[in-house]
Amino acid sequence: MINSLVIITNYWKNSPGGGIKTYLVNLVDSLKMKDFDVRVIFREGNDPENCQVKISRFLFPMKAFLVLIKMKPEVIHSQGSWYSLLPGVVYKKIYGCRLVSTFHTEPIKNLPIIFKAFFQYLLFQCDCVTFVSKGLKNKIIKIRGLRFGETAITYAGVKSREVPENDIKKFCVKFNIKREFKILLGLGLTALKYKAEGAKILMRAVVKLKDKYPNILLILTREGFYSSDLREFAKDNRISDYVLFTGDVSDPFVPLSICDIYTHITLGEGGVSIALLEAMSMVKPIIATRVGGIPEAIKNGKNGILVEPNVDKIAEKIKYLLENKQLAEELGRNAKKTVEDYFTWDRSAQRFIQIYYG
């Protein structure tokens, strides 16, 4: 039995970490349910039960290493960044442990030559490097030219649940959402540029649909870096009355429970989006772009619809699902079965346990 596992991450509870934060919080909960002693060293967030090292990323490795000496872990699990991995590498060299690193996010560009060599050295010290999708692994190899020893794919999971009617009612009253609305939903498309560009394509599709469906409403959640830009885009395209920006929502399952179609339109995606999995668990028909790890969860025409980031095609598929309720329901049922069979946090935790033991 592994008596001490330490996770090192930039994002943790109560941080703007999005999918990474959600991934780790649920993974840690699942590992603890399997009697693992898990502690977390993190930069951003707030959690008195774990260790925050609130310092610049350049000084973080030194301070995190000193914390590791006190914790004496048997396994160190680093998340993505070089400054989360470096203290684990140093600790392994001096004291010995098993070292695992996980990539979460899509690479935008290649690394400078010197830094690439440094990061490559760190990765070669790992006993296993994991990726949250096959698509992410392939893209990192293609764009950054990094090489790896032992690797594994470690998908996210999802916990489906019922949403209290009172929570739904409060949400609808707060945002003046009427029962007769045809609701499209995009979760978290305001935070990253490639997702915001997808949201713009989605809004252009709404422009094409609003005359036929005057009660159509696109809901976009999260107060992200690109929220203001997207609001201006909606205003410039004269569809502000058809797009609702909720800002941050404490429970994404509330807007999911009222949407007619979940629209995951993005120009990039690191892994299999947790928001996408949440929509699948809620028996929702899904229209998503064929990027990143999305095709690893959505099989076109079986449990969702995959599209290219083309305004006309997206508008056509939205119209198709709105007018074919029986098909929409079938896609939703198949989506839920997919997550129940392949994308659970228990399954994710079990995969990591195999990796930790080697």
- Residue pair 321/131 in contact (Cβ under 8 Å)? The answer is no
Fold of 165-342: Rossmann fold (3.40.50)
Sorted by where each begins, the domain ranges of the chain are 5-157+344-357, 165-342
Check whether 125 has a pLDDT greater than 90. Answer: yes
Cα 41 to Cα 71: distance, rounded to the nearest angstrom: 10
Tens-digit pLDDT profile for residues 203-229: 999 999 999 999 999 999 999 999 999
Cα 157 to Cα 139: distance, rounded to the nearest angstrom: 22
Residue 278: other Cβ atoms inside 10 A:
21
According to DSSP, residue 300 is labeled B
String of DSSP letters for 169-206? HHHHHHTT--TT-EEEEESSTTSSHHHHHHHHHHHHHH
- In 3D space, the residue among 345, 32, 304 whose CA is nearest the CA of residue 160 turns out to be 345
Task: Write down the pLDDT at residue 286.
Answer: 98
At residue 354 the predicted structure's pLDDT band, cuts being 50, 70 and 90, is very high
pTM, 2 dp? 0.92
Three-state SS for 6?
A: strand
Tens-digit pLDDT profile for residues 71-97: 999 999 999 899 999 999 999 999 999
Task: Write down the pLDDT at residue 270.
Answer: 81
At residue 233 the predicted structure's pLDDT band, cuts being 50, 70 and 90, is very high
CATH classification number, 5-157+344-357, choose in 3.40.50.150, 3.50.50.60, 1.10.357.10, 3.40.50.2000: 3.40.50.2000
Q: Which is higher by pLDDT, 1 or 252?
A: 252
Tens-digit pLDDT profile for residues 251-282: 999 999 999 999 999 999 888 999 999 999 99
Fold: same for 5-157+344-357 and 165-342: yes
Task: Write down the pLDDT at residue 18.
Answer: 82
Task: Write down the pLDDT at residue 256.
Answer: 97
Cα dihedral 15/16/18/21 (nearest 10): -20
Q: Tell me what the pLDDT averaged over the chain comes to.
A: 95
